[in-house]
């Protein structure tokens, strides 16, 4: 390349000399001093500049192509995504937030169990929250609502991860029938809950703390508390309002958890592994199939199917219609291959029987070899009264026997002692915390009380 530059420089010098000769011949009549000045101007100003440009031109031909900008890869851990997206830091030093942060850190095993229960759902919650442009803190709200127990059911009849009460479910168009409850459907309930929070945010001066309080206590209760404070000349922010004790603690508990996730190393918390990728995928399946039957032939654990499909009230896909079942994403291919050759589910065969005059429930049960209780449960009824012309669903005898086996389990009454936790009690009796919550209709948001009695079912 140096030779090429020298060649170009020589050519430029020759051209410059030729130009110099022309200038000198045109300026013969000028004084000698003027001639020398013109010569200096060309040789010392024009010539170096031309040489410099030629060298730059030649060098630019050999410059490498500019590299495209480096786009950073998304974080591998979902916890990193959450940590980078948290935005409500200004409340971290509030006394009530500090109180619940200390409480979380004091009960570390319960905190770790909570975060592990979040694993199947959190990616979807984060994804949906970000798609809507909502604060990432909302994705963690089920930690406070249900402690990430998908089958949680409160004394106020709130159900599911987002703890939606029946009246709100109807308002949000969540379907419910004897086979299915939309409040337990992971995707449907999340869409409804985030939509409702967005609505509350708009209605309450775009204040997220007030929207969260209204989600717990109700929109009009929060509005009334604001009006009362205005009359008394007090503040209108969440911290100044007189709200029910549960609501006053509800928002700080969420903020306290978020503050720990924002800097887990500071608090000595080791977060469970959680990759930044989907946990589940949706697959259409026929109606009338039990999760146990699907688990048996697909190789997926039955408990995993239950964790992802808590909206199925009987752990059966509703008969007569296609159900969008959630399954672990890594099992999608083998599950779909299995569906192509899946044999009928003998335990879930349901017979439709039309009641005629003179029939009794006990007589029908005896005729089909099932218990009266099996028929009442299959038809979601507590009364034994039947009327001519109505249609009853009669479960198969094998299904009835399975339920009979469950009913023959021994019941233990455990008296809660100081320091007890759901996790410790479940470990002691070798049952799941989910079952403890379901058997006793516990509110996972509240701590156990010493002296409280819990039912525990163990094999007889």
Which residue numbers are catalytic?
Answer: 145
Rounded Cα distance, 174 and 167, in Å: 10
Give 301's contacts (C-beta < 8 A, 6+ positions apart).
Answer: 295
Sequence-distant (≥ 6) Cβ neighbours of residue 325 within 8 angstroms: 282, 283, 284, 285, 294, 305, 309, 317
Closest CA to 374 of 351, 357, 354, 355: 351
DSSP designation for 174: -
Instruction: Yes or no: say if 460 and 410 are a contact pair by the CB < 8 Å rule.
Output: yes
Contacts of 82 (CB under 8 A, 6+ apart): 122, 126, 136, 139, 140, 261
Query: Coil, strand, or helix at residue 180?
Result: strand
- Distance CA(350)–CA(179), nearest Å, equals 13
Between the CA atoms of 152, 154, 159 and 164, what dihedral angle is there, to the nearest 10 degrees? -130
* Segment holding 433, helix H or strand E: helix 433-440
Residue with tokens 């000198």, as numbered in its chain: 24
Q: Do β-strands 410-415 and 453-458 pair in parallel, antiparallel, or remain unpaired?
A: antiparallel
Say how far apart CA 64 and CA 114 lie, in whole Å. Answer: 54
Radius of gyration of the chain (CA): 37
Q: What is the DSSP letter of 278?
A: -
Residues in CB range of 93: below 8 A, 6 or more apart:
none
Cβ atoms of 280 and 328 closer than 8 Å: yes
What are the residues facing 280 on neighbouring strands?
Answer: 328
Q: Is 205 left (phi over 0), alpha (psi -120 to 50) or beta?
A: left
Instruction: Yes or no: say if 139 and 121 are a contact pair by the CB < 8 Å rule.
Output: no
Contacts with 281 (C-beta within 8 Å, 6 or more apart), sequence order = 326, 327, 328, 329, 332
């Amino acid at each position: 390349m140096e030779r090429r530059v020298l060649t170009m420089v020589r050519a430029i010098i020759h051209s410059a000399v030729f130009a110099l000769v022309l200038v000198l011949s045109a300026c013969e009549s000028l004084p000698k001093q003027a001639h020398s000045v013109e010569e200096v101007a060309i040789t010392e100003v024009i010539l170096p500049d031309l040489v410099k440009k030629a060298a730059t031109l030649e060098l630019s031909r050999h410059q490498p192509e500019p590299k495209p900008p480096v786009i950073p890869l998304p974080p591998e851990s979902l916890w990193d995504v959450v940590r980078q997206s948290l935005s409500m830091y200004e409340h971290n030093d509030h006394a009530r937030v500090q109180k619940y942060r200390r409480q979380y850190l004091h009960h570390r095993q319960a905190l770790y169990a909570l975060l592990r229960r979040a694993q199947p759902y959190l990616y979807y919650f984060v994804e949906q929250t970000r798609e809507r442009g909502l604060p990432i803190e909302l994705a963690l709200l089920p930690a406070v609502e249900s402690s990430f127990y998908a089958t949680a059911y409160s004394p106020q009849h709130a159900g599911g991860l987002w703890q939606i009460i029946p009246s709100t479910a109807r308002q949000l168009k969540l379907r419910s029938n004897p086979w299915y409850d939309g409040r337990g459907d992971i995707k449907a309930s999340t869409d409804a809950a985030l939509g409702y929070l967005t609505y509350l945010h708009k209605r309450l001066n775009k204040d997220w703390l007030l929207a969260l309080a209204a989600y717990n206590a109700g929109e009009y209760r929060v509005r009334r508390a604001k009006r009362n404070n205005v009359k008394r000349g007090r503040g209108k922010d969440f911290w100044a309002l007189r709200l029910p004790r549960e609501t006053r603690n509800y928002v700080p508990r969420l903020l306290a958890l978020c503050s720990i996730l924002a800097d887990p190393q500071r608090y000595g918390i080791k977060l469970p592994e959680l990759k930044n990728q989907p946990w589940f995928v949706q697959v259409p399946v026929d109606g009338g199939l039990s999760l146990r039957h699907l688990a048996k032939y697909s190789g997926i654990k039955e408990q995993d199917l239950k964790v992802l499909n808590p909206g199925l009230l009987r752990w059966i896909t509703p008969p007569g219609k296609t159900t969008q079942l959630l399954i672990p994403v890594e099992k999608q291919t083998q599950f779909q291959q299995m569906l192509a050759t899946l044999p009928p589910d003998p335990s879930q065969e349901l017979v439709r029987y039309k009641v005629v005059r003179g029939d009794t429930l006990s007589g029908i049960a005896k005729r089909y070899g099932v218990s009266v209780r099996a028929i009442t449960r299959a038809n979601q009824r507590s009364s034994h009264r039947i009327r001519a012309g109505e249609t009853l669903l009669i479960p198969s005898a094998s299904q009835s026997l399975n339920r009979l086996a469950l009913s023959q389990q021994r019941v233990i009454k455990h008296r809660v002692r100081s320091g007890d936790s759901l996790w410790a009690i479940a470990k002691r009796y070798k049952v799941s915390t989910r079952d403890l919550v379901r058997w006793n209709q516990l509110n996972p948001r509240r701590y156990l009380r010493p002296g409280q009695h819990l039912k525990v079912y163990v094999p007889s």
